[in-house]
Amino acid sequence: MRAWHSMLDLVLPPVCAGCGDPVSRETVLCPACDARLPRLEIDCAAPAPLAGCTAAVAYRGVAEEWVRRFKHPAAGIAALDVCALAVARALILEAAAGAPGRGPDLVVPVPPHRRSLYARGFHAAGLLARTVARARRVPCRPRALVARRETPSQTGLHRADRRRNIRGAFAAHSPLPPRIWVVDDVITTGSTLAEAAHQLHRAGAREVIGVCVAATPAPRDCAASSPRRSAQSPDTGAWRQRVS
Ligand SMILES: [Zn+2]
């Protein structure tokens, strides 16, 4: 395998997804591009019945640009932004490395309503959930949670209104194993993940933890970069963000 990678590096040398500079095969971003990501310096919101929640970066600046590029590529799966996909996958693995608890029995994405799925052309949270499940060697079940109705935009709503807005939006299919990680791209107040957790509990889950790429924080809650980081490989666990 190592010989194969050496040959591949000669033909297709790995480059930074941000600037195109050479990087090692295990690395998505070069140190300079990685340092521009605003690491999250506080715990994510984890409203009950979530047992915890973790995210890698604050949803602002360069991180927001990467997430937007990942979620809104030019035109469906044929135009999926591979650089943004690589960064999003690295960041969801970083978030997963910092998740509390003993690890999941099952990974489930937050489901989009079918209308937004058709409009976007791909299931962003589903791609992230599969990445996490593969890394953890556990099943991913994209249909364990389904969207029962289209949810009006949560933007601009306060926490209580968001919770009301999202109530009853999902249904979960039982039976489910005890420990579940529910994956989404961005967490704001945690209302969506809490409602997902509520339905997963009703279907048999005992511990539900949210795992997200980014969290929307107050401006004081994040730094330009984290001094704790020492490498860019998502597989090393060096991109961890501890959230309890
Ligand atoms: Zn770079």
Distance 236 CA to ligand 1 centre (A): 19
Read off the pLDDT of each residue in 41-46 and give the average, rounded to a whole number: 81
Distance 122 CA to ligand 1 centre (A): 27
Read off the pLDDT of each residue in 153-158 and give the average, rounded to a whole number: 65
| CA angle centred on 136, ends 90 and 94, rounded to 5° | 25
Place of tokens 């060697």: 137
Is 243 domain-assigned? Answer: no
Distance 20 CA to ligand 1 centre (A): 6
Is 83 domain-assigned? Answer: yes
C-alpha pair distances (Å), 113 with each of 53, 92, 94, 171, 172: 23, 22, 27, 12, 14
Token pair for 194: 């809490």
Alpha carbon distance 35, 93 (integer Å): 17
Q: For the segment 173-223, what is each residue's pLDDT rounded down to a tens digit?
A: 989 999 999 999 999 889 999 999 999 999 999 999 999 999 986 544 444
Distance 180 CA to ligand 1 centre (A): 34
Is 227 domain-assigned? Answer: no
**Number of domains within the chain:** 1
Of the candidates 65, 92, 104, which has an alpha carbon nearest to the alpha carbon of residue 185? 92
Is 193 domain-assigned? Answer: yes
Distance 76 CA to ligand 1 centre (A): 26
Tell me the pLDDT band of 241, cut-offs 50, 70 and 90. Answer: very low
Is 28 domain-assigned? Answer: no
Distance 34 CA to ligand 1 centre (A): 7
Q: What is the DSSP letter of 61?
A: H
Token pair for 84: 């943004």
Distance 23 CA to ligand 1 centre (A): 8
Distance 74 CA to ligand 1 centre (A): 22
Is 12 domain-assigned? Answer: no
Which CATH number do you get for residue 137?
A: 3.40.50
Is 134 domain-assigned? Answer: yes
Distance 19 CA to ligand 1 centre (A): 4
Q: How many CA atoms lie within 13 A of 190 on its CB side?
A: 21
The parent domain of residue 67 ranges over 35-221
Is 211 domain-assigned? Answer: yes
Distance 39 CA to ligand 1 centre (A): 17
Read off the pLDDT of each residue in 14-38 and give the average, rounded to a whole number: 93
Distance 232 CA to ligand 1 centre (A): 11
